[in-house]
Structure 1
């Protein structure tokens, strides 16, 4: 099975699409994630939804590093995501990680995230 990040954007208006995906397909949401990091001294957060596999593919929808870390700077976009996860009964798993800017390519960053998620059993190992 292939597991892949599908980047919706950086979390400005595209956060509404991520929230809508969760609301429209609550039975497919396997996990909700918040990745916290720091870019140029600014606290940033990525929000993501791991969906249940479809055939031989498991999508992970993400809005990458576009909103402030809600633990340091409260914001409405994170509140919308939290309301959606509460509504569908999924708890947000939070991780503090390296930012994507530390990787020469975005694909390497996503491989790093997949490794973190697998080691924490938030994402199934490939079989």
Structure 2
């Protein structure tokens, strides 16, 4: 099975699309995630939904909005609240991680591989089959 991050954007307005995906397909949400880091000296958050694999078990998407909203532990914001409520409506709680910022990596794909490693280590993401 292939597992891949699908970046919707950096989260400022794209978070509304992520929330809408969750609202339209709550039964497909396997996990809700928040990754916290410091980007350009500001505490920021990336939000993501791991979706259940496709019916053929060949692909598992992870929709993410990368580092575009303030860390809610530093500054409450409506976008994080909407994301959390959508996760809760789907019966999921938000799993939180503190990670390196994506700017630490020369390519976004390497950053996503780093996140996949964290998720597998913590048994949040299924092992490859």
Per the alignment, residue 74 of structure 2 pairs with: 72
Q: CA RMSD in A?
A: 0.6
Provide the residue aligned with 1:35 in structure 2. Answer: 35
CA distance in 2, matches of 1:82, 1:126: 28
- Return the alpha-carbon distance in structure 1 between the equivalents of residues 103 and 75 of structure 2: 21
The Cα shift of 1:29 comes to 0.4
1:22-71 CA distances to partner (integer Å, 9 max, x unpaired)? 11111110000000000121001000000000120000000000000000
Give the TM-score taking structure 2 as reference length: 0.96
Match of 2:59 in 1: 57
Q: How many residue pairs align between the two structures?
A: 127
The partner residue of 1:89 within 75, 85, 91 is: 91
SS at 1:23 equivalent: helix
Q: Which residue pairs with 1:100 in the alignment?
A: 102
How far the C-alpha of 1:112 sits from its partner, in A, is 0.2
> Which secondary structure does the structure 2 equivalent of 1:121 belong to?
coil
Q: What are structure 1's unaligned runs of at least 5 residues?
A: none
The corresponding residue for 1:3 is: 3
Aligned equivalent of 2:21: 21
TM-score when normalising by structure 1? 0.98
